């Protein structure tokens, strides 16, 4: 049985163990100083992704305490072409990035060094993302279309002081430009969407997950989903949810069915008959990160989703030609 938080409270108990559950708003209080685990095990990140039907722009500011990253990726998944990859790896950053303790309250995150600049400015309903790195410049405004989101707080079996406090915000329309090598690319709100993956926690060294997220329109109504497994002990809170209009529809466990060839179709479905999706991949954005003890690998597959979702009132939504991604990650960090 999933547990929903409806009143404010702390993420961690006095012993540093998480209170497990989920909410659709940021009502729990995360405090880095309340963590009882080793500071070398703390992980914090803000990851934004902006896509239209062919281009993807990714911003990352985050750290695993002993290693961190500030970076940008820009690629054409329709053509299978990486256009630009800029950024820097950080050694022993710990809390020096000053990442916020709440994903929704007004704040600014800014990395401004000789090698480049990245700035996230969050206000009510909008997120302004800016990056200038050598001859690359991106300026994007995200606007929320659904005031609800997904917040989970889950433990890990490996340690009573391990936890994952995660906030995912879907259904944000995107507008803005990317300039690189004397070319300018445009994102328009009619077909461009942004997501925020905001993570704080203490993770086991080894972890494997599957994750998929997407936004679009169904009959001119905003629609989105977040689906995943492998993110800790999810018996009190899965990270599976559907957004439609201004409502949310919580799902139980989901399964990702795929073979050894990542370019073959992925089948993603829940166990209660509420959602069934097939992703036909067209591009594999493979990343491998090795730095100090970090050894991470991820296949992020972009392509077309088709299928259906059933709302709480029994309405069956057809999902056709929705362009987004699903990924498989294996991390040692």
Q: What is the CATH number of the domain that holds 47?
A: 2.40.370.10
**Is 153 within 8 Å of 19 (Cβ atoms)?**
yes
Confidence of residue 291 (pLDDT cuts 50, 70, 90): confident
Asked if residue 61 is part of any domain, the answer here is yes
DSSP 265: P
Residue 34 lies in a domain: no
Does this model's pTM top 0.95? yes
Tens of pLDDT, residue by residue over 192-231, are: 999 999 999 999 999 999 999 999 999 999 999 999 999 9
- Domain-embedded: residue 29: no
> For 142-165, what is each residue's pLDDT tens digit?
999 999 999 999 999 999 999 999
DSSP letter (8 states) at residue 188: -
Cβ-based neighbours of 228, under 8 Å, separated by 6 or more: 209, 210, 211, 212, 238, 239, 240, 254
Within 8 A by CB and 6+ apart from 315, the residues are: none
Residue 18: inside a domain: no
How many independent structural domains does the chain possess? 1
User: Which domain, by its residues, includes 281?
Assistant: 41-332
Q: Is it the case that residue 293 has pLDDT exceeding 80?
A: no
Residue 105 lies in a domain: yes
Distance from C-alpha of 183 to C-alpha of 292, rounded to nearest angstrom:
36
For residue 91, pLDDT over 90 is answered with no
Please indicate, yes or no, if residue 189 is contained in any of the structural domains: yes
Looking at the domain assignment, is residue 25 inside a domain? no
Residue 330, burial from CB neighbour count under 10 angstroms (0-12, 13-18, 19+): middle
Q: Which of 308, 317, 300 is nearest to 268 (CA)?
A: 308
Residue 28 lies in a domain: no
pLDDT at 66 over 90: no
* 300-324 pLDDT, tens digit each: 999 999 999 999 999 999 999 999 9
Task: Report how far residue 235's alpha carbon sits from residue 1's, in angstroms, rounded to the nearest whole number.
Answer: 7
Listed range (22-36, 85-99, 252-266) with the worst mean pLDDT: 85-99
């Amino acid at each position: 049985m999933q547990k929903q938080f409806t009143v404010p409270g702390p993420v961690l108990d006095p012993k540093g163990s998480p209170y497990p559950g989920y909410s659709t708003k940021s009502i729990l209080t995360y405090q880095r100083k309340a963590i009882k685990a080793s500071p070398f095990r703390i992980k914090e990140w803000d990851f934004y992704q902006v896509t239209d039907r062919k281009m993807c722009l990714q911003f990352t500011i985050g750290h695993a305490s002993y290693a961190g990253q500030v970076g940008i990726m820009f690629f054409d998944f329709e053509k299978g072409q990486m256009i630009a990859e800029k950024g820097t790896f950080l050694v022993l950053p710990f809390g020096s990035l000053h990442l916020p303790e709440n994903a929704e309250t007004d704040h600014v995150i800014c990395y401004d060094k000789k090698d480049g600049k990245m700035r996230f400015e969050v206000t009510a309903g909008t997120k302004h993302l800016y990056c200038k790195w050598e001859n690359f410049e991106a300026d994007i405004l995200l606007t929320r279309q659904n005031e609800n989101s997904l917040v989970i707080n889950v433990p890990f079996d490996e340690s009573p002081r391990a936890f994952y406090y995660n906030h995912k915000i879907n259904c944000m329309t995107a507008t803005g430009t990317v300039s690189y090598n004397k070319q300018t690319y445009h994102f328009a709100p009619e077909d461009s969407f942004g997501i925020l993956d905001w993570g704080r926690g203490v993770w086991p060294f080894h972890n494997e997950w599957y994750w998929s997220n997407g936004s679009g329109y169904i009959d001119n109504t905003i629609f989105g989903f977040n689906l995943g497994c492998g993110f800790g002990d999810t018996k009190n809170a899965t990270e599976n949810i559907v957004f439609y209009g201004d409502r949310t529809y919580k799902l139980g466990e989901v399964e990702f069915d795929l073979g050894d060839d990542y370019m073959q179709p992925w089948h993603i479905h829940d166990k209660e008959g509420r959602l069934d999706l097939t992703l036909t991949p067209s591009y594999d954005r493979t990343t491998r990160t090795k730095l100090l003890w970090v050894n991470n690998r991820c296949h992020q597959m972009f392509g077309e989703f088709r299928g259906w979702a059933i709302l709480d009132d029994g309405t069956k939504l057809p999902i056709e030609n929705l362009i987004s991604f699903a990924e498989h990650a294996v991390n040692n960090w």
